[in-house]
Amino acid sequence: MKAGRLFGIALGVVVATVAAPVWADPPHHARGNGPPPHAGGPHNRDAPPPGWQKKAWRRGDRLPWAEVDRRYWVDDYAQYRLRDPGRGQRWVRQSDTDYLLVEIATGVIIDALRR
């Protein structure tokens, strides 16, 4: 009788412990809202990394390597009214209005434009 009672209590504790996460609130992205906007990811893959547009870049600053990524390069200079970059240089789009002319080998900013 004592063993059956202990077994019943132990079984109840195990069931309650296993079932508790089921009743917990799901995280934000699991409620159908998607990840928060600052999380990046496939829903906003063309956006610059978080915090990038907060810095006021100037000539001579060094752009971090993660931010000189190909996905931010501007290839159609005429569309954005930008001059052709020199050899070893690329225009990097920082936001809808900010463009940086960067030396690809070093990451040094040669020119910063706001349009």
Half-sphere exposure of 41 (CA within 13 A, CB side): 8
What is the model's pLDDT at position 115?
Answer: 76
Q: What is the pLDDT of residues 13-63, one digit of tens each?
A: 777 777 666 666 666 556 666 655 555 555 555 665 665 555 678 899 998
Pairing between β-strand 98-103 and β-strand 89-93 as defined by DSSP bridges: antiparallel
Q: What is the pLDDT of residues 81-104, one digit of tens each?
A: 999 999 999 999 887 788 999 999
What is the model's pLDDT at position 5?
Answer: 82
Of the spans 44-48, 61-65, 67-71, 108-112, which averages the highest pLDDT? 108-112
Closest Cα to residue 97, out of 39, 45, 51, 56? Answer: 56
Which positions ≥6 away from 104 have C-beta within 8 Å?
A: 68, 88, 89, 90
- 59-115: CATH class: alpha beta
Model confidence band, residue 4 (pLDDT cutoffs 50, 70, 90): confident
Q: Where are the domains of the chain?
A: 1-46, 59-115
Question: Dihedral sign, CA of 78, 80, 84, 89?
Answer: negative
Amino acid 47 reads: A
